[in-house]
């Protein structure tokens, strides 16, 4: 009888041992699953960082390429604008010779002769003056302006001094005679004005900052 009672106790211990083993196996499986998940998460984070770095690199390349394309576009626009404005510079210089010839022809006749001219001579002089005015207007239409600096302060950027004139009545450095008119095209000098400059007079006053700003 005693032996029969021990058997169930032994069976109960086996059952408990089996349940404990199952619990251990389950815990081990969960731990392994967690370790695998952690490893997988680690791989995903690394891949994410790599992709983010690649995206940042591509963005930087795109911004650089966009900036370069914008610079090229601006340079092209400036070149086109310059070509429109200054493309006729060589032709304009040749036309200036015609303007000079007209001016010399008109300058060879004094005011008294012009005032008393009659008949064919008067018609000729009137025609020359009309032609000269038309030529100047045509040049201005294409951005070419005449420089007549008499009475202005000498500016080496747009004037070329040919000689000095002793004249104490005007400030030194004043343009008192224009030998040949100058011309500018756009913001560039097409031909400097050839001038005579006064010397011996008082020094020219420097322009005040306010006047310079207004002139600019």
Q: In this structure, what CATH number is given to the domain that contains residue 198?
A: 2.30.22.10
Q: Taking 80 as the threshold, does the pLDDT of residue 206 lie above it? A: no
What is the predicted pLDDT for the residue at 192? 94
Residues 59, 30 share a domain = yes
| Packed helices 119-141 and 89-107: angle between N→C axes, nearest 10 degrees | 150
What is the predicted pLDDT for the residue at 35? 59
Classify 70 as helix, strand or coil.
helix
For 96, 146, 214, the CA distances from 161, given in Å and listed in that order, are 20, 17, 26
Highest-pLDDT range among 4-8, 85-89, 127-131, 205-209: 127-131
**Residue 178 vs residue 19, higher pLDDT:** 178
Grade residue 101 by pLDDT with cuts at 50, 70 and 90: confident
Is this prediction's pTM over 0.85?
no
Residues 92, 68 share a domain = no
Residue numbers of the domain that contains 200? 144-204
Question: Distance between CA atoms of 147 and 136, rounded to whole angstroms?
Answer: 11
> Domain total for the chain?
3
Residues 167, 195 share a domain = yes
Residues 54, 5 share a domain = yes
What is the predicted pLDDT for the residue at 191? 93
């Amino acid at each position: 009888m005693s032996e029969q009672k021990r058997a169930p106790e032994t069976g109960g211990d086996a059952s408990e041992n089996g349940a404990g083993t199952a619990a251990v196996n389950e815990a081990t499986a969960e731990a392994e699953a967690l370790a695998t998940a952690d490893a997988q998460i680690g791989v995903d984070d690394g891949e994410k960082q790599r992709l983010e770095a690649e995206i940042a690199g591509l963005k930087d390349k795109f911004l650089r390429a966009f900036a370069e394309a914008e610079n090229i576009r601006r340079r092209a626009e400036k070149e086109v604008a310059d070509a429109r404005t200054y493309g006729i510079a060589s032709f304009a210089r040749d036309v200036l010779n015609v303007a000079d010839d007209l001016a010399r022809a008109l300058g060879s006749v004094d005011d008294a002769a012009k005032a008393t001219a009659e008949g064919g001579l008067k018609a000729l002089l009137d025609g020359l003056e009309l032609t000269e005015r038309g030529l100047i207007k045509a040049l201005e239409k294409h951005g070419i302006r005449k420089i007549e600096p008499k009475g202005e302060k000498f500016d080496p950027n747009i004037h070329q001094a040919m000689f000095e004139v002793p004249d104490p009545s005007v400030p030194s450095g004043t343009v008192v005679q224009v030998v040949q008119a100058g011309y500018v095209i756009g913001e560039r000098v097409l031909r400097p004005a050839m001038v005579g400059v006064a010397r011996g007079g008082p020094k020219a006053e420097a322009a005040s900052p306010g006047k310079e700003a207004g002139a600019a």
